[in-house]
Structure 1
Amino acid sequence: MADSYDVIIIGAGPGGYVTAIRAAQLGFKTAVVDREHLGGICLNWGCIPTKALLRSADIYHGMLHAESYGLSAGTPGFDLGKVVGRSRGVSNQLATGVGFLLKKNKVDVIWGEASITKLGEIAVKPATKSALGRPPIPAPKGALGPGSYTAKNIIVATGARPRVLPGLEPDGKLIWTYYEAMVPETMPKTLLVMGSGAIGVEFAYFYRTMGAEVTIVEVLPQILPVEDAEIAAHARKRFEKMGIKVITGAKVTGVEKGESSITATIDDGKGGLSKITADRLISAVGVVGNIDNLGLEKLGVKIERGIVATDGKGATNVPGIYAIGDIAGAPMLAHKAEHEGVICIETIKGLHTHALDRAMIPGCTYCNPQIASVGLTEAKAKEAGHELKIGRFNFIGNGKAIALGEPEGLVKTIFDAKTGQLLGAHMIGAEVTELIQGFVVAMNCETTEEELIHAVFPHPTLSETMHESVLDAYGRVVHM
């Protein structure tokens, strides 16, 4: 007889395991199914290990510039194996922590590949391979195995995988996805990065800082395409200043593989073709949702452009089946998945909830300089018909930024001129991924410029740049 649950979540990534814990807190008998990693891509091959790599790059960058702080660091160097090893260790520690949290909350872990065979029932079979195409990963201690399981509510949280372009398929040796880029055995001397979203520019920064010659190729007119154009232009200048070559409005149309390098053909969009030879190519052209082999289409679950259609609270068009996280649409971010999962399970419980407001979800890029944003860009705000008041403040006017040796940065705030509503905030510079949450809270509280102007920001802090940007939008900036 099938084991029965109130809720089964397919996928133990950030959305899945957080939803499972909240479900258990609400009194549901809960299980989560995964074939590979507790914590999902984020903890194991995404958000967390990349931050560990970037931290090593930041410290190495500081060592290279120690003299500008009056310090002596000798001749800086690094052990790539230890850099990668530290990153993997951080991931393993956190994945183990997820297992502890699930056990603490009495959530069962089922190990294997799940598919929905009919409403309220899933079949779990042994995993044939991991997302890396490697042999299956052993089940965690205490996990349940393959079999048939039933649940009143099934939540699909299977995440996403790297997008693959025809003719440019990663091979794990010369053409990498973010998987291989996180565990290099040797440091490439030259690197071509295809795509300039957050993943692409973070790896470009890491490898450039560690000594590689890096070229970014982006098909759209600006790098960091989802960011405000002014912030993206600032980022491009900084990247080029550090020696990264940036080519926009162009695409890689083909790759010739050599024994230890690739030669890419670049179409500049104007009829011109050129060749770039590099030791490795990182394909960072986005991700696609893992909706295959789940049985969704057979049950009539509505799929739109590779995304499971939901009502904003996780419900699909088929009663009893829900979807959260990357497979439920952009932005494909861990914190969005977590929040979406909590909304979903609380709705199932019958609590009062609000549909996810995607405009309130911050985006962060953790290279140096860091980039962070929330809400509408200037272009999107104008498209929406708003009359705008825009404030800007450069880090060069901030005492803490100068003391840190980080005088290059910009905060840009966008307000509705008629109502004072904060429509968007866009930042580039030191620690802005930590600062952005101030604007997120302000937008969620429907704060206007008046409250922000009268708020007292501590001195000396980088957060004062936020205050000054608001002041600038209303002709009251002080330190610029």
Structure 2
Amino acid sequence: MNKTEFDLVVVGGGPGGYVAAIRAAQLGLQTAVVEANHLGGICLNWGCIPTKALLRASEINHLLHHLGEFGFAADNVRFDLQKVVKRSRQVAGQLSSGVGHLLKKNKVTVFDGFGALAGKDGSRRLLSVTKDGKPVATLSAKNLILATGARARVLPGLEPDGKLIWSYREAMVPTELPKRLLVIGSGAIGIEFASFYRNMGAEVTVVEVLDRILPVEDEEIGALAHKAFVKQGMTILTGAKIGPITKGADNVSLSVEAGGKTHALTVDRVISAVGIVGNVEKLGLEGTAVTVDRTHVKVDAKCFTGEPGVYAIGDLAGPPWLAHKASHEGVMCVEAIAGRHVHPIDPLNIPGCTYCRPQIASVGMTEARAKEAGHKVRVGRFPFIGNGKAIAMGEPEGLVKTVFDAETGELLGAHMIGAEVTEMIQGYVIARTSELTEAELKETVFPHPTISEAMHEAVLAAYDGALHI
């Protein structure tokens, strides 16, 4: 077992870890990454990227069944589920190998194994690397970044069994399409799977214990999403209480209390999407100053844990559990370690995106949160039905909503539902990061014809100046 010295060792090769390692190498630090499974982490291999490939396929399936709206006709429209899944896995594989190439290009050493803190050697940190329980190496570094991510939360009675009750992994590689599917949890992960399977033809029921779906989104946007999903044929039960689950040979039966009624359900498969927990186990944190709170490592604004030389980023460090947050934290953390001046991340400037149909995107405060924070607000709304490009695309259902501080003109939040809004939200993110007010946004020229014009109109609408409604 060899001992190898580095300036920085990153534990975890996901979107936070590998980006941090690349940036560290660019800044001249001798850097290593320790990854136990796949470079690119859950996001690239089993999350963000392959799910988007699946969702793209489901959008095509939906479009093929609505060709008549565009003047086309096709007979015997069908799909090969195994090819759909295979393409998704190929996309993930291509990008995972690309991460390996990037690390090699930047001269980052990669260790295949599980990393755990193993004490100190003077002012340097020691990290043991094991694979299948066997020692691989002991690394020594001035600094360590923990980027081990998170995993799906498992509730008693809803433990994934690989057949009837699925986690996200089984849901991404189905061997056949379930005719009836139950999704428990209506956050981004649950809703994206619900959207995929519904658009592929499954009967989908979504159960949420809270009183509305997509609870982190603006309530108005969530209500519009609820309406759209029901129109697509989904059954949505909110304020729900789930009874005991009975497994059959090839189905699951359960009762759900919601809306003052008891619903008896029998479905082919269940997807559990009820949150995530941080991967804090077996990291060697015992006896250190690292604090774990509800499975997440507590950090300061620069991702420092309180234990000298040890940092934590990404999902491990708590919400929002987003890949782009992890990557940005990784760069910020490394630059702080390298002695550069950094700006701590404002969580309200981190956009959230849900890639269902219709798409949902947001940044900043919801209208309710802004009011709770004591702001007097001006709210602007612009529907897609007033946007020429949206109508031409056959996507007239959608809304852009802006929330401004009535006194200062600060853009407090922006919330969107409709086609391509996950691509458009960045405009409002830049506005918030740059601390622009309604004055600059009103003076900004938006190209025509684009759906992004709805963003401009939603700003104008907050100040009684919308032109096309």
- Judge same fold: TM > 0.5, yes or no: yes
Q: Tell me what 2:130 maps to.
A: 125
Q: Which residue of 1 aligns with 2:63?
A: 62
Q: In structure 2, what residue type is equivalent to 1:382?
A: K
Is 2:219 aligned against 1:229? yes
The residue number in structure 2 matching 1:293 is 282
Report the residue type matching 2:321 in the other structure.
Answer: M
* 1:206 match: 196
Distance across 2 between alignment mates of 1:127 and 1:322: 26
8 Å Cα contact 2:289/2:305 also seen in 1: no
The residue number in structure 1 matching 2:156 is 166
Partner of 2:72: 71
Instruction: Give the counterpart of 2:184 among 194, 200, 223.
Output: 194
CA RMSD of aligned residues (A): 1.2
Distance 1:128 1:79 in 2: 40
Shift of 1:251: 2.9
Shift of 1:234: 0.2
Measured after TM superposition, the shift of residue 59 of structure 1 is 0.9
2:465 equivalent to 1:476:
yes
Q: Secondary structure at the match of 1:161?
A: strand
Instruction: Name stretches of at least 5 consecutive residues in structure 2 with no aligned partner.
Output: none
Question: Which secondary structure state, in structure 2, belongs to the residue aligned with residue 254 of structure 1?
Answer: coil
Q: Is the 8 A contact 2:9 2:33 kept in 1?
A: yes
How far apart are the structure 1 equivalents of 2:246 and 2:340? 56
Counting aligned pairs with the same residue, the percent is 61
Match of 1:146, SS state, is strand
Query: In structure 2, what is the Cα distance between the partners aligned to 1:158 and 1:254?
Result: 33
Q: Equivalent residues in 2 for 1:434-453 (5 A)? A: 434-453=423-442
What does 1:424-439 correspond to in 2, within 5 Å?
A: 424-439=413-428
Give per-residue Cα distances to partners, 1:16-50, cap 9 Å, x unaligned.
Answer: 00000000000000000011100000010000000
8 Å CA contact retained: 1:252, 1:266:
yes
2:266 is aligned, of 259, 270, 277, to 277
Verify the 8 A CA contact 1:35 1:127 in the aligned structure 2: no
1:81 equivalent in structure 2: 82
- Deviation of 1:68 after TM superposition, in Å, equals 0.5
Q: Is residue 16–residue 313 contact of structure 2 (8 Å, CA) maintained in 1?
A: yes
Contact kept? 1:410, 1:429, Cα under 8 Å: yes
Q: Is the 8 A contact 1:228 1:378 kept in 2?
A: yes
* Matched-pair contact (CA < 8 Å) for 1:194–1:252: no
Aligned pair in 2 of structure 1 residues 87, 116: CA closer, same or farther (>3 Å)?
A: same
Q: Give the deviation of 1:128 after TM superposition.
A: 6.2
1:9-48 matched pairs, under 5 angstroms: 9-48=10-49
User: Is the CA contact 1:219–1:249 (under 8 Å) kept in the aligned structure 2?
Assistant: yes
Residues 297 and 303 of structure 1 are in contact (CA less than 8 Å); yes or no, is this contact kept in structure 2?
no
Distance (Å, rounded) in 2 between the aligned partners of 1:268 and 1:441: 41
Residue by residue over 1:263-301, the C-alpha shift from the partner in whole angstroms, topping out at 9 and shown as x without a partner, is 12323385x543211000000001111011101133231
Distance apart, 1:127 and its partner CA:
3.5
What one-letter code is carried by the residue in structure 2 that aligns with 1:248?
T
Distance in 1 between the 2:422 and 2:369 partners? 22
- CA distance in 1 between counterparts of 2:140 and 2:328 reads 25
> What secondary structure is seen at the aligned counterpart in 2 of 1:430?
coil
Alpha-carbon distance between aligned partners in 2 of 1:254 and 1:300, rounded to the nearest angstrom: 41
| Residue matched to 1:374 | 363
Q: Secondary structure at the match of 1:418?
A: coil
Aligned equivalents of 1:98, 1:222: Cα separation in 2: 38
Equivalent residue in structure 2 for 1:242, among 232, 248, 251: 232
> 2:435 corresponds to which letter in structure 1?
E
1:338 Cα deviation (Å)? Answer: 0.2
Q: Look up the match of 1:113.
A: 114
Q: TM-score, normalised by structure 2?
A: 0.97
Secondary structure of 1:298's aligned partner? coil
| C-alpha separation in 1, matches of 2:395 and 2:226 | 17
Match among 107, 113, 137 for residue 147 of structure 1: 137
Matched, 1:95 2:86: no
- The aligned amino acid for 2:332 is I
Give, in whole Å, the separation in 2 of the partners of 1:128 and 1:185.
Answer: 32
Whole-angstrom CA distance in 2 between matches of 1:265 and 1:430: 35
How many residues in Structure 1 have an aligned counterpart in Structure 2?
A: 464
Say which of 289, 313, 326 aligns to 1:337.
326
CA–CA separation in structure 2 for the residues paired with 1:162 and 1:79: 28
Q: 1:365 offset after TM fit, Å?
A: 0.3
Alpha-carbon distance in structure 1 between the residues aligned to 2:335 and 2:201: 49
Indicate the SS of the match to 1:412. strand
- Partner secondary structure for residue 97 of structure 1: helix
Q: Which letter maps to 2:85?
A: V
TM-superposed CA distance for 1:305, in Å, is 1.9
The reply to whether residue 252 of structure 1 matches residue 257 of structure 2 is: no
Q: Match of 1:135?
A: none
In structure 1, what is the equivalent of residue 175 of structure 2?
185
TM score, norm. by length of structure 1: 0.95
CA contact (8 A) 1:168 1:254 kept: no
1:302 shift after superposition: 1.0
2:349 is aligned to: 360
Q: Deviations over 1:60-103 (max 9, x none)?
A: 11111011101122221100000000000000000000000000
- Verify the 8 A CA contact 2:221 2:416 in the aligned structure 1: yes
**Further displaced range: 73-82 or 180-189:** 73-82
Partner SS, residue 187 of structure 1: coil
User: After superposition, what is the alpha-carbon deviation per residue over 1:342-387, rounded to whole angstroms, capped at 9, x for unaligned?
Assistant: 1100000000001111110000000110000000001100100000
